[in-house]
């Protein structure tokens, strides 16, 4: 379904935990003035949880409730949404989708640094190896708005910010 053009676009930044979504979104927020919506934080703020996952040691997201909390904000446009999954958002919300990708060894070190171990660590590394989130994005949004971006180094991060700013400039002029 084609989006009617908003005054400002909405951007989705997704990818396996640890690939650099928050770091990129923070920079984008500073450079664009767009509002960064961290779905995990919204869920915490509005208590959008439905039980507890004992295996991963984290609360289970109540997707419907978090979508309800986000709907009015998304309608305003100018939002950057950050989450490690992407198939439950309405397709109409986003004008562009970026999937950050990180090499396994680099991601492994970042997740160990974050305190992940055992099954949680292994599953997240497998998720990246099998490009699960990229496939999820390609299955949920039009392929031409889904872009995979490498996120291994500070240079990659800077290139990604520049690429997204260029896209935004192009969007504004189109
Ligand atoms: P996510 O939000 O995807 O879970 P974070 O933004 O929290 O990931 O990043 C995880 C860790 O990796 C942080 O310590 C961050 O500084 C580092 N990091 C993220 N992206 C990069 C990058 N492109 N190059 C180097 N380090 C990065």
Q: 117 in ligand 1 pocket by Cβ < 6 Å?
A: no
Q: 9 in ligand 1 pocket by Cβ < 6 Å?
A: no
Does residue 136 sit in helix, strand or coil? helix
Q: How far is the CA of 24 from the centre of ligand 1 (A)?
A: 8
Q: 18 in ligand 1 pocket by Cβ < 6 Å?
A: yes
Q: How far is the CA of 2 from the centre of ligand 1 (A)?
A: 33
Q: 151 in ligand 1 pocket by Cβ < 6 Å?
A: yes
Helix, strand, coil tally for the chain in percent (to 5): 50, 20, 30
pLDDT in tens, 49-71: 999 999 888 899 999 999 999 99
Q: How far is the CA of 95 from the centre of ligand 1 (A)?
A: 24
Q: Tell me the whole-structure pTM to 2 decimals.
A: 0.96
Protein residue with its CA nearest to atom 25 in ligand 1: 153
DSSP the chain: -PPPPPSS--EEEE-STTSSHHHHHHHHHHHH-PEEEEHHHHHHHTT-EEEEETTTTEEEE-HHHHHHHHHHHHHH--EEEEES--TTS-GGG-SEEEEEE--HHHHHHHHHHTT--HHHHHHHHHHHHTTHHHHHHHHHS-GGGEEEEE-SSHHHHHHHHHHHHHHHHHHHH-
pLDDT in tens, 96-117: 999 999 999 999 999 999 999 9
Q: Which phi and psi angles does 61 have, rounded to 5°?
A: -70, 135
**pLDDT tens for the chain, residues 1 to 174:** 455 688 999 999 999 999 999 999 999 999 999 999 999 999 999 999 999 999 888 899 999 999 999 999 999 999 999 999 999 999 999 999 999 999 999 999 999 999 999 999 999 999 999 999 999 999 999 999 999 999 999 999 999 999 999 999 999 998
Q: How far is the CA of 4 from the centre of ligand 1 (A)?
A: 34
Does residue 99 sit in helix, strand or coil? strand
Mutating to test ligand 1, I would choose from 12, 20, 26, 148 the residue with most ligand atoms within 8 A of its C-beta, which is 20
Beta bridge partners of 147: 98
Q: How far is the CA of 151 from the centre of ligand 1 (A)?
A: 8
Q: How far is the CA of 10 from the centre of ligand 1 (A)?
A: 22
Rounded Cα distance, 167 and 13, in Å: 14
Handedness of CA 19, 25, 27, 32 (dihedral sign): positive
């Amino acid at each position: 379904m084609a989006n009617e053009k908003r005054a400002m676009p909405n951007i989705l930044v997704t990818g396996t935990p640890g690939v650099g979504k928050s770091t990129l979104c923070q920079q984008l927020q500073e450079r664009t003035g767009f509002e960064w919506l961290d779905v995990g934080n919204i869920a915490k703020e509005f208590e959008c949880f439905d039980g507890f996952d004992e295996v991963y040691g984290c609360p289970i997201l109540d997707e419907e409730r978090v979508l309800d909390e986000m709907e009015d904000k998304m309608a305003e446009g100018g939002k950057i949404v950050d989450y490690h999954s992407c198939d439950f958002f309405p397709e109409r919300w986003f004008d562009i989708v970026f999937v950050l990708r990180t090499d396994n060894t680099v991601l492994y070190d970042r997740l160990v640094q974050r305190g992940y171990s055992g099954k949680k660590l292994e599953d997240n590394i497998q998720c990246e190896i099998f490009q699960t989130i990229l496939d999820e994005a390609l299955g949920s949004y039009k392929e031409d708005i889904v872009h995979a971006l490498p996120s291994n180094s500070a240079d990659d991060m800077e290139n990604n910010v520049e690429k997204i700013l260029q896209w935004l400039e192009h969007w504004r002029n189109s």
